[in-house]
Copies of this chain bind each other. A is one copy, B any other.
């Protein structure tokens, strides 16, 4: 039972077929191939707007390139204080941007509020030479707490950002899961709400290694071709990326895969919430379940071979945070997570509670 990450999953069959197909032919190098052209056209279709897309192999590269397109070296990038871009990319945004400062904004449930953003921006006044100037806002969708920003929440934040003269980036490593979970369109969740650049992740959701930097304002994309190349992210057999993205989007596969992962997470969440002694740390709005469990329960899971990560966060309110003898853990469902796996974990969660009812300990 592997709930450690959706990164561990395999590759969805249609995507693997596309990779194999494209690997058997000779094709122009560096992204000048037909697969990539079709993938880019599909992206514009899905987002209902002519957008510039740049395919890369990792989410870290997609985020860092996006942020480097928005923020100058002497500027600051604002994100949630526990965002992937500030904590989990070994300083990639600083590297790609040439030394921009990544500034954490606190907030519950993994989300930034407009008020918190305003308060943070106030510490970076425009025109004051000694202060890194505002450069970009980065929002994670889904958030690090597995929650989702609604379109109006995004719009409220984007309004603050744009009023401050900065662009808005969305780290969409699990964007597909939010589209699938909320039923909102890709456009509603991005440019219609004010997002300027999106890192769209396919890897965690069925692809092998494929992410897209989607730039809604073509002017912002002017230098991306060069920034991507000098970052070593322009694959020579670029059809590898094009074929994946095409297969992922075609026929709505990406949303089918996301729905599977979301559904598994939802069943897991419902079961765990109902188990005595356990409680959810955050609303489950995508494919991640954060649960606070008694340490003996977790020991039992581990003994049964369940794989998951312990989680430390300032994002949970006191009533949901772990108390002594408890630990918060993250369980991630992927498109491959099966019903049997979910039931097996739930059985492990519940059974000892039943026995606890029978035999005092």
Chain A contacts with B in 1-36, Cβ cutoff 8 A: 2, 4-5, 7-11, 16, 19-20, 23-30
Mark each residue of chain A from 206 to 239: 1 if its CB lies under 8 Å from any CB of chain B, else 0: 0011000000000000010111111111111100
Report the minimal beta-carbon distance from A86 to chain B, rounded to whole angstroms.
Answer: 8
Chain A contacts with B in 176-230, Cβ cutoff 8 A: 203-204, 208-209, 223, 225-230
Chain A contacts with B in 71-112, Cβ cutoff 8 A: 72-76, 87-92, 94-102
Q: Is the CB of A226 within 8 A of B26?
A: no
Report the minimal beta-carbon distance from A236 to chain B, rounded to whole angstroms.
Answer: 4
**CA distance in complex: A182, B56 (Å):** 36
Q: Is the CB of A99 within 8 A of B101?
A: no
Is A131 among interface residues, defined by CB-CB distance under 8 A? Answer: yes
**CA distance in complex: A62, B90 (Å):** 18
Residues of B within 8 Å of A98, CB to CB, are 73, 95, 98-99
Q: Is the CB of A8 within 8 A of B29?
A: yes
Number of copies of this protein chain within its complex: 4
With contact pairs A232-B58, A236-B204 given, residues A100 and B94 touching in the complex (Cβ less than 8 Å)? yes
Q: In the complex, how many residues of chain A place their beta carbon closer than 8 angstroms to a beta carbon of chain B?
A: 74
Q: Is the CB of B90 within 8 A of A99?
A: no
Q: For the complex, would chain A's binding face be called helix, strand, loop or mixed by DSSP majority?
A: loop
Is A133 among interface residues, defined by CB-CB distance under 8 A? Answer: yes
Residues of B within 8 Å of A9, CB to CB, are 26
Is A340 among interface residues, defined by CB-CB distance under 8 A? Answer: no
Q: Is the CB of B95 within 8 A of A73?
A: yes
Q: Which of chain B's residues has its CB closest to A133's CB?
A: B226
Known: A58-B232, A92-B229, A92-B231. 15 other contacts (CB 8 A): A4-B28, A4-B29, A7-B237, A30-B130, A57-B233, A60-B229, A75-B91, A88-B130, A89-B130, A90-B133, A91-B100, A94-B94, A96-B232, A129-B226, A231-B232
Chain A residues near B (Cβ < 8 Å): 2, 4-5, 7-11, 16, 19-20, 23-30, 56-62, 64-65, 72-76, 87-92, 94-102, 123, 129-133, 203-204, 208-209, 223, 225-237, 240, 336
